[in-house]
Structure 1
Amino acid sequence: MPVSTQIPPPGYRPSWYASSIAPPSPRPSLKHNHRADVVILGGGFTGLGAAISLAQQGLQVVVLEAQRVGWGASGRNGGQALVGFGCDQQVLERLAGQEQARLLFDYSRQGLALLKSRIAAFNIDCQWHDGAADVAISARQASGLAQQAERMARLYDYPLQLWDRQRTAAEVDSPRFVAGLFDPNAGHLHPLRYALGLARVAQQLGVQIYEHSAVRRIQHGAKVSLYTDQAHITADFALIAGNALLEGLAPQLENRIIPVGTYVGATPPLGRERARGLIANDIAVADVNWALDYFRLSADHRLLFGGMASYSALPPPGLQAAMTRRMHAVFPQLRDVGLEKVWGGMIDITRNRAPHFGRIAPNVYFAQGFCGHGVAATGMAGDLIARAIAGQAGGLDAFAAIAHQPFPGGRWLRRPLLVAAMSWYKLRDRLG
């Protein structure tokens, strides 16, 4: 059972995740110049996963985190660990062709397997549970799930369970859903516990992690240096894993993504019987609307309910009340229950919703564009980059071949244009 501290540990934003853990010991900030084989910007899933893979190769690795380990999306997300990416496989087929789309999907399967193997091998207590389902609200969406099940089995050798209305209702007690598509290989976890577990493993392998050490400047060259306010790290290679929080450090990356707010709420503990009455087998669930709702149970029998993406960089007005209404629309039997905590954070979205991995210099790598689908894909990205640094770049090059265009409108107009586009997709969801 989680440890309830009621208030978040020092340095963490308020969330149920942060208040449910024992306060982790703070790590030092960078105060002296160092030399390393690899320096990593970002102490989230991508950076920590890459650090583990690199340290297992015998390399000397330093991680620089601006806040605390898992402070960003890695410690505040919905906790759903899925195969695939933020875009549908058909998008990857159009971008890269069927053969490459299959290769990329297989890498995503490896990413989920890597996550599970690390949890088991390193005894990471992150409250893992098997199973995740996409659920349909309309007949059109149900037909889409049936087509998806057929294509995934035929083209990707990845069978999924198609549920009719009766089976869906038996698993998720909501009048809203008419069909489901279940993946027994996927699952969900406590993301902040997982991030802290990765950090523990990395340090045991010799990785140096510095918190409250924001990178202010990157100096490129035969060696690359990352500068904080007080010192710098010089290394043979660097990995930029700041995702939505780069804040001007790499404009050539930032114009390919846009930070989008997404939000999660937690009910008070419902008790095991009432909680399992909502989601019978403790799986993760998400609808297939463009502006989707997603939800799962916590280890202490709360409902964790997410959604309400904001493309304006500001939290939606009346956020807690609006999220509570959405939760009640899914589970009307919870009308006597509100959301005890609501929190959010920024994820990084690409124009095509495909992942964006590659290099901005021969010795400077990056991974971004997880588009809210990064719990498993981040570890895979970090591992591919570690392999590329070791001279095995085939996997990374497969992702780097995906074309990514900057958002239109430049720095000032790209967000208003995106808000207008998302309004159309939300209208489409309402019209069914």
Structure 2
Amino acid sequence: MSVDTPQSGYPPSWYAASQAEVPARPPLRGPAQTDVAVLGAGYTGLTAALALAEKGYRVSVLEAARVGWGASGRNGGQAIVGYGCAPDTLEALVGEADARRLFDFSRDGMAMLKHRIARHNIDCDWRDGHASVPIQPRQERALRVDIERMAARYNYPLEWWDRARLRQELASERYLGALYDPASGHLHPLAYAQGLARAAEAAGVTLHEHSPVVRLQRGPRAVLHTAQGQLSADFVVLAGNAWLQGIAPELETRMMPVGTYIGATQPLGAERARALIRNDMAVADVNWALDYFRLSRDHRLLFGGQANYSALPPPGLRASMTRRMRRVFPQLADVELEYLWGGYIDITRNRAPHWGRLTPNIYFAQGFSGHGVASTGLAGEVIAAAIAGQAERLDVFERIPHGVFPGGKALRMPLLVAAMSWYKLRDLLG
């Protein structure tokens, strides 16, 4: 990767700066036809397009900006088995049997992610290992229970590291221990998205960038309308997540865009960086308003958190993120954040995945709730299989109930801000 080469058409970030320039694909102009039309060139849309093309379908993808422009190219890069909600939440929603199926699907999704990277030779800095770290004793107790439950009920092995064991890998006194998952890990998000796009094009997918969809016309052959063209198809996949913006109002009422932010330090040098996280794992605490961090290939610390439930970045964001980073690593008192960026993730009320069909030929996936690096690819594969006639897995996801956010457009954000303020206070009070 060549560092500090800016990518045109992308929001400023270390991810964009560390990737070589990719020429923009031409926008859709005029009428066109295809078998499957995909809205959104993020992980879900690109994976669905790739899987369908490999099954022999003609596929076209319409992207409003650039490949990976949204959360797929800006996220924290942590790929974790599971979903945005805990397994016991899924048990309450769909019962133990379906919750076990859903968790096993997520394990498949992680395996698919690693296989996709290897098969298509995607250079995205994959690293194994993820640690969930408690700050409060009640969090430690909950994580220990989780390890026992995941082993007994889901046959999923996790490791408990006490504080001394954690200190062998992580140079921070803030945490009481760690739940370590060797099967999860982290990657370079934008590099992965661009690698998926190359693989999809090699399989025959047509990609149109700078082609925002302004209207979805439903029918036996659905039509995606842009300002300059129309794409008709037997099937449509809606993979816009937090950026649907009026295309399917019944989906938007069940999803809330939430801002989250990430910073990157200046290069620390190999020795200093590795002294922070010796085994190069990804780390996240288990507060509601969590911090998460990992190292980059060029020896920066990437540090994220500071979720925001309004449309504007929090005031004093750089200073706040720097304080949070130094609270974890006081030894970085002389280190500043060279890059700072943010974007939206899409959350559901129950934090469970919301995937399914709007009509018999219009499919969607949303509600990754900050847990989408692996599960977005699973969503793409599940939807591709359903379009090809194998809907058993999608049927299980469709059994997850989803309520609308209360308050309508005017009040749902203030109500969510009030609720999140309570959870943040609970974190502070322990």
Q: Per the shorter chain, which TM-score range?
A: over 0.9
Q: Which residue of 2 aligns with 1:312?
A: 310
Query: Match of 1:419, as an amino acid?
Result: V
- Alignment of 1:412 with 2:395, yes or no, is no
Name which of 279, 294, 297 aligns with 2:295.
297
Residue 5 of structure 1 deviates from its aligned partner by 2.7
Equivalent pair of 1:131/1:183 in contact (CA under 8 Å): yes
Distance in structure 1 (CA, Å) of the matches to 2:395 and 2:311: 32
Instruction: Note the alpha carbon deviations across 1:17-49, whole angstroms, 9 max, x for none.
Output: 000011111100001211100000000000000
Equivalent pair of 1:44/1:74 in contact (CA under 8 Å): yes
In the TM superposition, structure 1's runs of 4+ consecutive aligned residues that sit over 6 Å from their partners are: none
Distance in structure 2 (CA, Å) of the matches to 1:232 and 1:95: 39
Q: Which residue of 2 aligns with 1:23?
A: 21
Equivalent pair of 1:34/1:232 in contact (CA under 8 Å): yes
Distance in structure 2 (CA, Å) of the matches to 1:425 and 1:63: 39
Tell me how many residue pairs correspond in the alignment. 430
Instruction: Note the alpha carbon deviations across 1:92-134, whole angstroms, 9 max, x for none.
Output: 0100111111100011111110110010011000010011010
Query: Match of 1:429, as an amino acid?
Result: D
Q: Which residue of 2 aligns with 1:140?
A: 138
Query: Match of 1:390, as an amino acid?
Result: A
Equivalent pair of 1:226/1:233 in contact (CA under 8 Å): yes
Query: Match of 1:261, as an amino acid?
Result: G
- Give the match's secondary structure for 2:160: strand
Q: Which residue of 1 aligns with 2:12?
A: 14
Q: Which residue of 1 aligns with 2:352?
A: 354
Distance in structure 2 (CA, Å) of the matches to 1:140 and 1:171: 23
Query: Match of 1:96, as an amino acid?
Result: V
Q: Which residue of 2 aligns with 1:381?
A: 379
Residue 313 of structure 1 deviates from its aligned partner by 1.9
Uncovered stretches (5+) of structure 2, i.e. residues with no partner: none
- Alignment of 1:175 with 2:181, yes or no, is no
Distance in structure 2 (CA, Å) of the matches to 1:5 and 1:414: 40
- Alignment of 1:393 with 2:397, yes or no, is no
Instruction: Note the alpha carbon deviations across 1:309-329, whole angstroms, 9 max, x for none.
Output: 001121111001100000000
Q: Which residue of 2 aligns with 1:271?
A: 269
Instruction: Note the alpha carbon deviations across 1:337-359, whole angstroms, 9 max, x for none.
Output: 01111100000010000000001
- Alignment of 1:5 with 2:17, yes or no, is no
- Give the match's secondary structure for 1:340: strand
Matches within 5 A, 1:1-400: 2-6=1-5, 8-400=6-398
Equivalent pair of 1:3/1:22 in contact (CA under 8 Å): yes
Residue 165 of structure 1 deviates from its aligned partner by 0.8
Distance in structure 1 (CA, Å) of the matches to 2:410 and 2:158: 43
Q: Give the TM-score taking structure 1 as reference length.
A: 0.99
Query: Match of 1:367, as an amino acid?
Result: A
Equivalent pair of 1:286/1:292 in contact (CA under 8 Å): yes
Query: Match of 2:152, as an amino acid?
Result: R
Query: Match of 2:266, as an amino acid?
Result: P
Equivalent pair of 1:131/1:284 in contact (CA under 8 Å): yes
Distance in structure 1 (CA, Å) of the matches to 2:31 and 2:93: 43
Equivalent pair of 1:132/1:183 in contact (CA under 8 Å): yes
Query: Match of 1:4, as an amino acid?
Result: V
Distance in structure 1 (CA, Å) of the matches to 2:168 and 2:407: 47
Instruction: Note the alpha carbon deviations across 1:362-398, whole angstroms, 9 max, x for none.
Output: 1000000000100000000000000000111110010
Distance in structure 2 (CA, Å) of the matches to 1:171 and 1:397: 42
Instruction: Note the alpha carbon deviations across 1:51-90, whole angstroms, 9 max, x for none.
Output: 0110010000000000000000000000001100001111
Residue 292 of structure 1 deviates from its aligned partner by 0.4
Query: Match of 1:125, as an amino acid?
Result: D
Query: Match of 2:409, as an amino acid?
Result: R
Distance in structure 1 (CA, Å) of the matches to 2:4 and 2:318: 22
Distance in structure 1 (CA, Å) of the matches to 2:250 and 2:143: 37
Residue 138 of structure 1 deviates from its aligned partner by 1.5
Distance in structure 2 (CA, Å) of the matches to 1:274 and 1:209: 41
Name which of 408, 412, 426 aligns with 1:428.
426
Uncovered stretches (5+) of structure 1, i.e. residues with no partner: none
Query: Match of 1:396, as an amino acid?
Result: L
Distance in structure 1 (CA, Å) of the matches to 2:315 and 2:170: 29
Equivalent pair of 1:169/1:177 in contact (CA under 8 Å): no
Instruction: Note the alpha carbon deviations across 1:122-156, whole angstroms, 9 max, x for none.
Output: 10000100110100112111111110000000111
Distance in structure 2 (CA, Å) of the matches to 1:362 and 1:258: 25
Residue 15 of structure 1 deviates from its aligned partner by 0.3
Distance in structure 1 (CA, Å) of the matches to 2:33 and 2:39: 15
Distance in structure 2 (CA, Å) of the matches to 1:302 and 1:111: 28
Distance in structure 2 (CA, Å) of the matches to 1:344 and 1:312: 13
Question: What is the CA RMSD across the aligned residues, in angstroms?
Answer: 0.6
Distance in structure 2 (CA, Å) of the matches to 1:400 and 1:151: 25
Distance in structure 1 (CA, Å) of the matches to 2:311 and 2:256: 9
Query: Match of 1:47, as an amino acid?
Result: G
Equivalent pair of 1:63/1:207 in contact (CA under 8 Å): yes
Query: Match of 1:177, as an amino acid?
Result: Y
Equivalent pair of 1:5/1:22 in contact (CA under 8 Å): no
- Give the match's secondary structure for 1:216: strand
Query: Match of 1:235, as an amino acid?
Result: A
